[in-house]
């Protein structure tokens, strides 16, 4: 991921294995940022090492493709210490991953950490559930939830730049 700077944010999306939700969020956010002309660094990771080096789940690839987004080139990786310095904003897809991120965050890391849905008024504190054990309809539902949230993040960055804050609901 390109490091964020004073002029543009660097966003990291985090789920468990980095093959379903976080690559979908990366792809959806990249598309939304491109449409808005927003300069931003974008990446996705997992808190677990289950799928390091693997492409996204085929269902995630299909649903993203249905929505005009190509995530086929992404490969799973696990979160690293340097992510807390290169990202300006780290978005967890659910509370378990949020807790995992916080447990490994260095005290001097600069990234703001929040749930992705904390960017959406009325959805603060709500997880985006893992569709891994579901079917394609579950992936479609998750895609809709993710796109609603990333669109809200893009709007905030356009309005506030790198200083955009995404306060956590009660954790």
Catalytic site residues? Answer: 15, 21, 130
Q: How far apart are CA 98 and CA 90, in angstroms?
A: 9
Q: What is the Cα Rg of the chain in Å? A: 14
Burial class of residue 71 in the structure, from the number of CB atoms within 10 Å of its CB (0-12 exposed, 13-18 middle, 19+ buried): buried
Q: Phi/psi at 102 (nearest 5 deg)?
A: -60, -35
Burial class of residue 36 in the structure, from the number of CB atoms within 10 Å of its CB (0-12 exposed, 13-18 middle, 19+ buried): middle
Q: How far apart are CA 16 and CA 93, in angstroms?
A: 9
**What one-character DSSP code corresponds to residue 89?**
E
DSSP 14-30: EESSSSSHHHHHHHHHH
Element spanning 44, H or E = strand 41-46
């Amino acid at each position: 991921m390109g490091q964020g700077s004073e002029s543009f944010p660097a966003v990291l999306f985090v789920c468990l294995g980095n093959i379903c939700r976080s690559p979908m969020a990366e792809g959806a956010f990249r598309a939304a940022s491109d449409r808005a002309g927003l300069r931003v660094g974008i990446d996705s990771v997992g808190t677990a090492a289950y799928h390091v080096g693997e492409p996204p789940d085929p269902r995630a690839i299909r649903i993203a493709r249905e929505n005009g987004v190509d995530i086929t080139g992404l490969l799973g990786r696990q979160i690293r210490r340097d992510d807390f310095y290169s990202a300006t904003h780290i978005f967890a897809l659910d509370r378990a991953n949020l807790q995992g991120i916080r447990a490994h965050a260095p005290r001097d890391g600069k990234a703001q950490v929040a749930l992705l849905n904390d960017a959406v008024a009325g959805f603060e504190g709500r997880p985006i559930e893992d569709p891994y054990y579901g079917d394609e309809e579950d992936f479609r539902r998750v895609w809709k939830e993710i796109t609603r949230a990333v669109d809200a993040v893009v709007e905030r960055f356009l309005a506030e730049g790198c200083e955009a804050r995404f306060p956590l609901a009660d954790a």
